[in-house]
């Protein structure tokens, strides 16, 4: 979590830092800050809340000519979102910004306090700057002091540190949290947590590896790896296509992203299907050689996409598939056998828990595959193979189009494996491919439907909770519908398998319990309908979503006619996304930046 930027050069340092932070604000937005060192003098600004507050605070402040600056946008881990806890953190003559968690901060803090250091914040980060200055007093060399400090830190971090002792330099380190440096012909250096702040400033960048550390100053970048061996920067071209999304007339990015689903799914299918088969040029068929099981591992929405995949893989590819929540998998001593393909799913490619499971699978010698939306992300760089989801930049914290493209990829992948394993006839695969081609049309938002959901949403602003229910692949969709609603409306919502309601949750049924029922015509319709009738009989307020009329519901949202359950899946996905969006808007919430969340969860 959190976003970091840094700059060394002669341009308008303040503007460069602020515009970089703007691009990273999705990573955390409970406070932000910058520190700029110019002519031996530090200027430091911090503000609680969104970046606009920091912009306001720095309005009068100007930088000109050479300066060194660092900035941070925070998602609080240790300590409340206050100005004192906002980064950069100050020592006596140095500032630091950090993304990650210093696990041994309490011990270090105790020792530093015993040595007379006063702490201003409740953060783990502040120990870094004090530890650095303590080492500096002994070693009298900034880089050696920085290096020693890193050896004393346990945990995950991306760090930038500036000190008056070496006023043209930024010290950096990466261990478990992303960090990039960009260089250009004007000898400027740019640091950031991801590509976007560097677009337009640099044509090539170096992605630091875990364990890398060093320093940058005009005309010099010195990098060491985790074995303390000096290494060259490995420059990779940076795409100059600033897709920095604008809202294009939509009220929120989330809304725009729901409307974009048709075109991004077309992009995701493009070049990957013909009339008979699915072609993944990025995959070598040997990836599946000797594989008897697929293990899918992810968090949040990506986990729900993975759960949908588990139904498709077993049904079509006839391959044993298991499912893991990354944060659980990490710590449960799992059995990993080499005949398992380990698949991680992540929109951002930076989710700490998912990344860590990928490292575990690699260490156990498993073949790995990433389904990811961000090229060059940590997860992509670490996996043996990747299928990119081509959803484009997703800005809304509530994931929509990334989920749509993940499920599209999984549907394709189930057919790809089915062909490799001869588990489906050629005709059956061809029939599914022609259904896949219909998906972009089925996720197009129809004005009348959107209007109906907008009107309906006013009936669902209260109550004591929501149950989203579905069977089979509609169960993960129900989970996803509930997650969307709770993330942005702050109303309690749960996803449940329809058939499981009578095993406990039905006790909650009354008119103030809202049931959002997914009733696909082409998958277990009668069974799902009976489950809804059981809830209706107990007076739960029911909103049914189906292509078939259903008279036992209080509200009914009719989707377009579809010839297959997966098309019904995509139609219902859009309905659930719009319902969450409209309820959140009516409640007056910030749809794109809901409270307590961040777009990319880079802490465990
Ligand atoms: O970037 P990732 O797909 O790895 O992120 C995983 C979750 O943090 C993410 O899906 C989260 O649940 C979203 N806010 C859901 O809308």
| Binding-site residues, ligand 1, Cβ < 6 A | 299-302, 346-348, 351, 354, 397-399, 483, 487, 600-601
The closest alpha carbon to 123, from 170, 164, 74, belongs to 74
pLDDT 10s digits, 271-300: 899 999 999 999 998 999 999 999 999 999
Contacts of 369 (CB under 8 A, 6+ apart): 283, 287, 341, 342, 343, 344, 383, 384, 385, 386, 387
Integer Cα distance of 265 and 263 in angstroms: 5
pLDDT 10s digits, 145-200: 999 999 999 988 999 999 999 999 999 999 988 899 998 888 899 999 988 899 98
Provide mean pLDDT across the span 116-139: 96
Which residue has a Cα nearest atom 12 of ligand 1?
Answer: 300
- Which burial class, exposed, middle or buried, applies to 477 when counting CB atoms under 10 A from its CB (0-12, 13-18, 19+)? buried
Question: Closest ligand 1 atom, CA of 402?
Answer: 3
The closest alpha carbon to 166, from 145, 192, 188, belongs to 145
The closest alpha carbon to 319, from 284, 345, 292, 280, belongs to 292
Provide mean pLDDT across the span 109-123: 96
The end-to-end CA distance of the chain, in Å, is 9
SS3 142: helix
Question: Closest ligand 1 atom, CA of 601?
Answer: 8
Which residue has a Cα nearest atom 4 of ligand 1?
Answer: 346
Span from the CA of 26 to the centroid of ligand 1 (angstroms) = 12
Span from the CA of 475 to the centroid of ligand 1 (angstroms) = 18
Rg (CA), the chain: 25
Are the beta carbons of 515 and 532 closer than 8 angstroms? Answer: yes
Residue 244 has pLDDT above 80, yes or no: no
DSSP code of residue 188: -
* Rounded-to-10 torsion of CA 521, 274, 372, 450: -40
Half-sphere exposure for 259 (CA within 13 Å, toward CB): 14
Class of domain 3-246: alpha beta
In the block, residue with structure tokens 């599946």: 288
Integer Cα distance of 214 and 96 in angstroms: 14
Which residue has a Cα nearest atom 14 of ligand 1?
Answer: 398
Which residue has a Cα nearest atom 9 of ligand 1?
Answer: 300
DSSP code of residue 473: T
Q: Do β-strands 230-231 and 293-298 pair in parallel, antiparallel, or remain unpaired?
A: unpaired
Question: Closest ligand 1 atom, CA of 398?
Answer: 16
* pLDDT band, residue 1 (cuts 50/70/90): low
Query: To test the ligand 1 pocket, which listed residue (351, 592, 596, 604) has its Cβ within 8 A of the most ligand atoms?
Result: 351
pLDDT 10s digits, 429-457: 999 999 999 999 999 999 999 999 999 99
Span from the CA of 348 to the centroid of ligand 1 (angstroms) = 8
> No. of H helices and E strands in the chain?
17, 25
Topology adopted by domain 254-440: Rossmann fold (3.40.50)
Integer Cα distance of 223 and 205 in angstroms: 14
Structural domain boundaries in the chain = 3-246, 254-440, 445-586
Question: Closest ligand 1 atom, CA of 348?
Answer: 1
Integer Cα distance of 305 and 308 in angstroms: 5
Q: Decide if 599 is catalytic.
A: yes
Contacts of 175 (CB under 8 A, 6+ apart): 100, 150, 155, 156, 157, 158, 210, 211
Q: Which residue has the higher pLDDT, 63 or 408?
A: 408
Question: Closest ligand 1 atom, CA of 299?
Answer: 6
Query: Residue 163, Cα to own-chain centre: how many angstroms?
Result: 32
For residue 65, the surrounding DSSP H or E stretch is none
Integer Cα distance of 482 and 505 in angstroms: 15
Q: What is the pLDDT of residue 522?
A: 94
Span from the CA of 575 to the centroid of ligand 1 (angstroms) = 20
Are the beta carbons of 69 and 37 closer than 8 angstroms? Answer: yes
- Residue of 256, 367, 395, 599 with catalytic role: 599
- Residue of 2, 202, 372, 562 with catalytic role: 2
In the chain, pLDDT over 90 holds for what percent of residues?
78
Integer Cα distance of 114 and 104 in angstroms: 16
Look at 217-226, 230-239, 570-579 and tell me which has the smallest mean pLDDT.
Answer: 230-239
Q: Do β-strands 213-217 and 367-372 pair in parallel, antiparallel, or remain unpaired?
A: unpaired
Provide mean pLDDT across the span 13-31: 90
Query: To test the ligand 1 pocket, which listed residue (297, 302, 400) has its Cβ within 8 A of the most ligand atoms?
Result: 302
Span from the CA of 327 to the centroid of ligand 1 (angstroms) = 13
The closest alpha carbon to 532, from 522, 524, 523, 540, belongs to 540
Same fold, 254-440 and 445-586: yes
Span from the CA of 69 to the centroid of ligand 1 (angstroms) = 31
Homologous superfamily assigned to 445-586: Glucose-6-phosphate isomerase like protein; domain 1 (3.40.50.10490)
Phi/psi-derived region of residue 155, left when phi > 0, alpha when psi is between -120 and 50, beta in every other case = left
Q: Two tokens at 129?
A: 């700057």
The closest alpha carbon to 45, from 111, 90, 7, 4, belongs to 90
Q: What phi and psi, each to the nearest 5 degrees, are found at residue 185?
A: -65, -25
Bridge partners (DSSP) listed for residue 235:
206
Residue 173 has a CB neighbour count (10 Å cut-off) of 25
pLDDT 10s digits, 469-493: 999 999 999 999 999 999 999 999 9
Residue 139 has a CB neighbour count (10 Å cut-off) of 14
Question: Closest ligand 1 atom, CA of 484?
Answer: 16
Span from the CA of 162 to the centroid of ligand 1 (angstroms) = 33
The closest alpha carbon to 461, from 593, 557, 585, 590, belongs to 585
Look at 1-15, 154-168, 228-242, 546-560 and tell me which has the smallest mean pLDDT.
Answer: 228-242
Query: To test the ligand 1 pocket, which listed residue (252, 297, 298, 301) has its Cβ within 8 A of the most ligand atoms?
Result: 301
Span from the CA of 351 to the centroid of ligand 1 (angstroms) = 8
Question: Closest ligand 1 atom, CA of 600?
Answer: 1
For residue 281, the surrounding DSSP H or E stretch is none
Query: To test the ligand 1 pocket, which listed residue (75, 178, 299) has its Cβ within 8 A of the most ligand atoms?
Result: 299
Are the beta carbons of 298 and 326 closer than 8 angstroms? Answer: yes
Span from the CA of 328 to the centroid of ligand 1 (angstroms) = 15
Q: What's the pTM value of the predicted model, to 2 decimals?
A: 0.79
pLDDT 10s digits, 525-570: 989 898 888 888 888 999 999 999 988 899 999 999 999 999 999 9
Sheet architecture: strand order including 31-38: 41-48, 31-38, 67-74, 3-9, 189-192, 180-183, 204-207, 235-237
């Amino acid at each position: 979590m959190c976003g970091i930027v840094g700059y060394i050069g002669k341009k308008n340092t303040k503007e460069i830092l602020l515009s970089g932070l703007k691009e990273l604000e999705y990573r955390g937005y409970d406070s932000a800050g910058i520190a700029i060192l110019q002519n031996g003098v530090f200027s430091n600004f911090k503000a609680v809340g969104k970046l606009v507050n920091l912009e306001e605070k720095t309005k009068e402040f100007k930088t000109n000519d050479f300066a060194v600056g660092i900035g941070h946008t925070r998602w609080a881990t240790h300590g409340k979102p206050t100005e004192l806890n906002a980064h950069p953190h100050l020592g006596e003559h140095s500032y630091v910004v950090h993304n990650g968690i210093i696990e041994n901060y309490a011990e270090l803090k105790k020792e530093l306090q015993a040595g007379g250091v006063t702490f201003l914040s409740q953060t783990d980060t502040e120990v870094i700057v004090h530890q650095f200055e303590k080492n500096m007093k002994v070693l009298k060399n900034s880089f050696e002091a920085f290096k020693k400090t890193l050896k004393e830190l346990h945990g995950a971090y991306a760090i930038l540190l500036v000190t008056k002792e070496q006023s043209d330099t930024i010290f950096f380190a990466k261990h478990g949290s992303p960090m990039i440096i960009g260089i250009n012909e004007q000898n400027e250096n740019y640091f950031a947590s991801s590509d976007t702040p560097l677009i337009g400033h640099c044509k090539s960048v170096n992605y630091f590896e875990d364990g890398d550390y060093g320093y940058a100053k005009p005309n010099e970048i010195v990098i060491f790896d985790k074995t303390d061996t000096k290494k060259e920067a490995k420059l990779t071209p940076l795409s100059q296509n600033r897709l920095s999304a604008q809202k294009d007339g939509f009220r929120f990015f989330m809304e725009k992203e729901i409307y974009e689903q048709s075109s991004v799914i077309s992009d995701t299918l493009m070049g990957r299907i013909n009339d008979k088969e699915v072609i993944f040029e990025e995959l070598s068929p040997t990836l599946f050689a000797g594989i008897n099981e697929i293990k899918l591992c992810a968090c949040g929405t990506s986990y729900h996409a993975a759960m949908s995949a588990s139904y498709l893989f077993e049904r079509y590819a006839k391959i044993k598939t298991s499912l893991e929540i990354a944060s659980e998998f990490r710590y449960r001593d799992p059995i990993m056998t080499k005949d398992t393909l380990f698949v991680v799913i992540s929109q951002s490619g930076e989710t700490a828990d998912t990344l860590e499971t990928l490292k575990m699978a690699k260490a156990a010698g498993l073949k790995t595959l990433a389904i990811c939306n961000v090229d060059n992300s940590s997860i992509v760089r670490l996996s043996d193979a990747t299928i990119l989801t081509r959803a484009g930049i997703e800005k809304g914290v509530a994931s929509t189009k990334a989920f749509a493209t993940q499920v599209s990829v999984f549907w394709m992948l189930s057919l790809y494996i089915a062909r490799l394993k001869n588990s489906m006839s050629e005709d059956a695969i061809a029939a599914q491919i022609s259904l896949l081609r219909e998906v972009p049309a089925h996720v197009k938002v129809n004005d009348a439907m959107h209007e109906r959901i907008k009107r309906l949403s006013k009936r669902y602003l209260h109550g004591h909770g929501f149950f989203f229910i579905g069977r089979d692949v509609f169960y993960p969709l129900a989970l996803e519908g509930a997650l969307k609603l709770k993330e942005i409306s702050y109303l309690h919502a749960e996803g449940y398998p329809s058939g499981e309601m009578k095993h406990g949750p039905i006790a909650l049924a009354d008119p103030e319990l809202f049931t959002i029922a997914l009733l696909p015509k082409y998958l277990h319709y009668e069974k799902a309908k009976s489950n809804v009738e059981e809830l209706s009989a107990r007076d739960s307020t029911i909103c049914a979503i189906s292509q078939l009329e259903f008279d036992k519901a209080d509200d009914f949202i009719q989707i377009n006619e579809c010839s297959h359950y997966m098309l019904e899946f995509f139609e219902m996905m859009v309905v659930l996304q719009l319902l969450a969006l409209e309820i959140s808007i009516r409640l007056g919430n910030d749809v794109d930046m809901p409270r307590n969340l961040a777009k990319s969860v880079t802490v465990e």
